């Protein structure tokens, strides 16, 4: 398994830059940002790239109902991100027919973003199969280790007979470390559980108690033991749940380092 680190978009560059440099020192293979209406993930990646030019970058994920392919292409050019270092996660957002939308979007994504590795946000079986068959990777979110194993099987089934091997599978694993870790995880999870029907259906399928999907660790040893259970992921993207300052975010990165 590889190990990456992830943050929320809009992180202050004065925090993002030293954090990226520290992640590179710690041996993370890539560093990721999400994308949301209030901040562009690609701008956060540009700050990472300025401080850690050798590390790979990922955005997970850009909703295509909000940001069409031509806008994504313009943002990549504007921010100066090296396309060869970029894993571009895309998802359906609030689209009413997400599977159809992501299948039909792929030709335009390929046309407007040539050479960029496209990773599909996938939670349900059909989306996982589409990622395996047609995209350059799959991106999981809010999964337990057992559920991720089942989702991986769906990605593998999609790839079977279509391509030589299964594309890489990434996944956010929300990780909080320290005495307030359970509260941080519960707060983050509660926001997503009712964000839109796709998430509501996903958490219903999971059937897990609220505040338990992810890692709330007492210390680094505990965090490492829990991260090690996510064997279905080719790359664990440790989504750090901490105050948005250098010390707090770096502490999580250090506790969860590869």
pLDDT at position 196 is 85
Give the DSSP per-residue string, the chain.
-EEEEEE-TT--HHHHHHHHHHHHHHT-SEEEE--BTTB-HHHHHHHHHHH-TTSEEEEEEEETTTS-HHHHHHHHHHHT--GGGEEEEEE-TT-SSHHHHHHHHHHHHHHHSTTPEEEEE--SHHHHHHHHHHSSEEEE-S--HHHHHHHHHHHHHHHTTTSSSPPPEEEEEEEEESTTHHHHHHHHHHHHHTSSHHHHHHHHHHTPPTT-SSEEESSHHHHHHHHTT-TT-SEEEEEE-S-SSHHHHHHHHHHT--
State the pLDDT at residue 136.
98
pTM for this model (two decimals): 0.97
Secondary-structure class of domain 2-255 per CATH:
alpha beta
Residue 197 above 90 pLDDT? Answer: no
Q: How confident is the model at residue 16 (pLDDT cuts 50, 70, 90)?
A: very high
All structural domains of the chain with their residue ranges: 2-255
């Amino acid at each position: 398994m590889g190990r990456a680190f992830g943050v929320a978009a809009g992180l202050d560059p004065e925090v993002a830059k030293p954090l990226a440099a520290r992640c590179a020192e710690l041996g993370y293979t890539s560093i990721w940002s999400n994308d949301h209406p209030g901040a562009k993930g690609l701008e956060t990646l540009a700050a990472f790239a300025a401080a850690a030019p050798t590390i790979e970058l990922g955005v997970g994920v850009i909703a295509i109902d909000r940001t069409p392919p031509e806008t994504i292409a313009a943002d990549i050019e504007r921010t100066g991100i090296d396309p060869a270092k970029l894993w571009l996660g895309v998802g359906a957002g609030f689209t009413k027919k997400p599977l159809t939308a992501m299948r039909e979007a792929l030709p335009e994504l390929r046309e407007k973003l040539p050479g960029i590795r496209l990773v599909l946000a996938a939670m349900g079986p059909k989306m996982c199969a589409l990622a395996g068959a047609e995209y350059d990777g799959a991106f999981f979110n809010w999964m337990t280790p057992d559920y991720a194993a089942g989702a991986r099987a769906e990605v593998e089934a999609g790839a079977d007979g279509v391509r030589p091997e299964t594309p890489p599978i990434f996944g956010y694993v929300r990780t909080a470390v320290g005495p307030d870790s359970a509260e941080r995880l519960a707060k983050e999870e509660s926001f997503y559980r009712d964000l839109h029907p796709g998430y509501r259906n996903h958490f219903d399928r999971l059937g897990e108690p609220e505040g338990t999907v992810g890692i709330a660790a007492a210390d680094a040893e505990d965090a490492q033991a829990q991260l090690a259970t996510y064997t279905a992921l080719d790359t664990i993207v440790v989504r750090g749940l901490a105050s948005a300052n250098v010390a707090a975010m770096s502490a999580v990165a250090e506790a969860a380092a590869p």
